[in-house]
């Protein structure tokens, strides 16, 4: 097995992982609302929003890491193919 199939497989896995993590983060944050709770009667809703915010906050470093990995792999694939085209001429 050559370098190109391995590189393209790793790129595909990293992009798929980025999509999965992005969809998961979007599903977590879909019920998050940006609002101010002034009354004590809405304390339950405030706690619910705080829990959602905490879960979204925990997933953000993973999301950022996976996006950097997918971007680096994309850059690697593009540089390889550009270098290959330049090298053939």
Q: What tens digit of pLDDT does each residue of 35-80 get? A: 655 566 667 777 777 788 888 889 999 999 999 999 999 999 999 9
pTM (2 decimals)? 0.76
- Alpha helices by DSSP H, 1-89: 3-29, 43-88
Closest of 78, 88, 74 to residue 12, by C-alpha: 74
Higher pLDDT, 29 or 38: 29
User: Distance between CA 54 and CA 65 in Å, rounded?
Assistant: 18
- Which H/E stretch holds residue 1? none
Distance CA 11, CA 69 (A): 9
Contact 15, 70 (CB under 8 A): yes
């Amino acid at each position: 097995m050559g370098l190109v199939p391995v590189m393209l497989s790793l790129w595909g896995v990293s992009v798929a992982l980025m999509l999965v993590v992005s969809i998961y983060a979007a599903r977590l944050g879909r019920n998050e609302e940006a609002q101010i709770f002034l009354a004590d009667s809405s304390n339950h809703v405030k706690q619910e929003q705080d829990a959602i915010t905490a879960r979204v906050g925990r997933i953000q470093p993973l999301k950022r890491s996976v996006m950097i990995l997918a971007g680096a792999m994309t850059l690697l694939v593009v540089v390889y193919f550009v270098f290959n085209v330049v090298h053939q001429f």
